[in-house]
Amino acid sequence: MFKILLVDDEPIIKIGVRKLLEGTDYIIAGTASNGSEALLFLETNSVDIILTDLKMPVMDGVSAAPTCPEKAELN
């Protein structure tokens, strides 16, 4: 199983991605609505993949991406 952190500010996208991943080797280990929430999640959780939207309020995916390796060790 591969654990995914799903980061998107649109609930319908989160629902759709969950549906797409049903029956696969990928599981949603956590969700966040912006890059800031994602970084907080990564401080205490380990994931294999981070799937993020690029444009979000507070902190977008582009701003969060360089900080992710500092916050958590990706598997």
Look up the pTM and report it: 0.79
Q: Exposed, middle or buried, 51 (CB in 10 Å: 0-12/13-18/19+)?
A: middle
Q: What is the mean pLDDT of residues 28-35?
A: 92
Q: Which pLDDT does position 72 carry in this prediction? A: 56
Percent of the chain surpassing pLDDT 70:
71
Lowest mean pLDDT among 9-13, 23-27, 54-58: 54-58
Gap between the terminal Cα atoms of the chain: 12
